[in-house]
Amino acid sequence: MRMPEHTILIERVPAYGEGEKKGSQRKIREFLLECGFDEDFAEAANDDFCRGFGAARDAIIGIMKERYWQQHGNGTKQKGNGTHEK
């Protein structure tokens, strides 16, 4: 069975955690390098960039989750926090 795309993103794309700024920035910089961005760009990824990166990641995953549940759900709609409602 194929994994839903949003779960692949959750596993592959690093999140940004307010309580873990340094670790989150390091993981995001490493991810950028893995994706082929140059070192100067990755190293310039400051806290503001990483917060935006994390917000974009969360928004994209939310959209993909909603789409998945619309296509494969059981008559429920998934809310942004991962719970379901009728």
More confident residue, 74 or 32: 32
What is the value of pTM for the model shown?
0.74
In a domain, 15, yes or no: yes
In a domain, 86, yes or no: no
In a domain, 84, yes or no: no
Structure letter (DSSP) for residue 84? E
Lowest average pLDDT, out of 14-18, 22-26, 28-32, goes to 14-18
Residue 11 has pLDDT above 50, yes or no: yes
Q: How confident is the model at residue 40 (pLDDT cuts 50, 70, 90)?
A: very high
Count of structural domains, the chain: 1
In a domain, 83, yes or no: no
In a domain, 70, yes or no: yes
DSSP for 46-82? -HHHHHHHHHHHHHHHHHHHHHHHHHH-SS-EE-TTS
Average the pLDDT over 59-80 and give the result.
77
Residue 26 lies in domain: 5-75
- What does the alpha-carbon distance between residue 9 and residue 31 come to, in Å, rounded to a whole number? 12
Residues 6+ apart with CB under 8 A from 69: 76, 77, 78, 84
In a domain, 22, yes or no: yes
How high is the mean pLDDT of the chain? Answer: 84
In a domain, 63, yes or no: yes
In a domain, 81, yes or no: no
